[in-house]
């Protein structure tokens, strides 16, 4: 981390409020388009609300996209939700305990509820990242808390496939979730991820690059870099690369 004298501090409670937790399933299948996201800003921080609501398995799913100006640090705090960070642009300096790691675009960090960590723009240009917060409908289990998981994009093990590439990122428990499973897919131009299908697990697709068409429940929706796709349980879906080059996206599922 840089000298504290150079930092602008920001209170995270301004960004997140859990005073009113959604009840019932309030999130339906959708594509959250980056350019259409509501935006607020202050004290060197830009905040975009991507999704917020309840699902079949989650009492709260809150996804924000945060942009930090150079020199801004979000100081260490403990959340009551499991948290996943995905870097969109720039470099993010993430610290907890004696660990200090810089994550570039595509880097991932996972923290169980209650884990304290701080975030800083790790470069001289603004850094943007997604933060996903999960609280399930099950009772949280602190005994499932695992050490924080941090991995940069270039550190992820890559496996060639007949359609492009696959990166298995993590499959581990958290305080609110029995398992959180995440991988990244690189899909060649013109390829379809798989035929339309359904599964019990809810799913999130986060577009890292490229241009795709997502089939959801009988309709087709375009999505590009920065967009987030939410797929409820048992909704038919499939993804097709409609661009002239490869596309990349994260896929995330969870279980209670």
pLDDT for residue 97 is more than 70: yes
* Confidence category of residue 21, pLDDT binned at 50, 70, 90: low
> Among positive and negative, which fits the CA dihedral 222, 224, 229, 234?
positive
Q: Which domains does the chain carry?
A: 4-153 (2.60.120.10), 157-255 (2.60.120.10)
Collapsing DSSP to helix, strand or coil, 121 comes out as strand
What CA–CA distances, in Å, run from 236 to 145, 199, 202, 215, 256? Answer: 33, 8, 11, 8, 21
pLDDT digits (tens, 9 = 90+) for 153-192: 999 999 999 999 999 999 999 999 999 999 999 999 999 9
Decide: 208 and 216 in contact? Cβ < 8 Å.
no
Question: What's the pTM?
Answer: 0.93
What CA–CA distances, in Å, run from 199 to 65, 182, 230? Answer: 27, 16, 13
Query: How would you class 203 by CB atoms within 10 Å of its CB: exposed for 0-12, middle for 13-18, buried for 19 or more?
Result: middle
């Amino acid at each position: 981390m840089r000298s504290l004298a150079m930092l602008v501090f920001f209170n995270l409670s301004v960004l997140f409020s859990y005073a009113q937790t959604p009840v019932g399933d309030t999130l339906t299948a959708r594509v959250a388009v980056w350019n259409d996201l509501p935006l607020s800003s202050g004290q060197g921080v830009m905040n975009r609300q991507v999704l917020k609501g309840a699902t079949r398995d989650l009492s709260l799913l809150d996804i924000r996209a945060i942009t930090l100006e150079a020199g801004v640090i979000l100081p260490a705090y403990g959340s009551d939700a499991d948290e996943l960070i995905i870097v969109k642009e720039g470099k993010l300096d993430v610290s907890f305990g004696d660990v200090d790691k810089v994550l570039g675009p595509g880097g991932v960090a996972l923290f169980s509820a209650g884990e304290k960590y701080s975030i800083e723009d790790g470069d001289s240009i603004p850094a943007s990242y997604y933060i996903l917060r999960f609280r399930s409908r099950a009772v949280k289990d602190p005994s499932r808390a695992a050490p924080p998981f941090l991995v940069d994009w270039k550190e992820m093990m890559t496996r060639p496939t007949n359609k492009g590439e696959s990166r298995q990122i993590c499959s581990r428990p958290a305080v609110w979730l029995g398992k959180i499973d995440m991988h990244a897919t690189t899909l060649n131009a013109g390829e379809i991820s798989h035929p339309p299908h359904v599964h019990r697990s809810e799913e999130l697709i986060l577009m890292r690059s490229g241009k795709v068409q997502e089939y959801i429940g009988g309709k087709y929706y375009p999505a590009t870099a920065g967009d987030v796709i939410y797929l409820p349980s048992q909704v038919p879906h499939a993804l097709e690369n409609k661009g002239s080059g490869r596309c990349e996206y994260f896929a995330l599922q969870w279980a209670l």
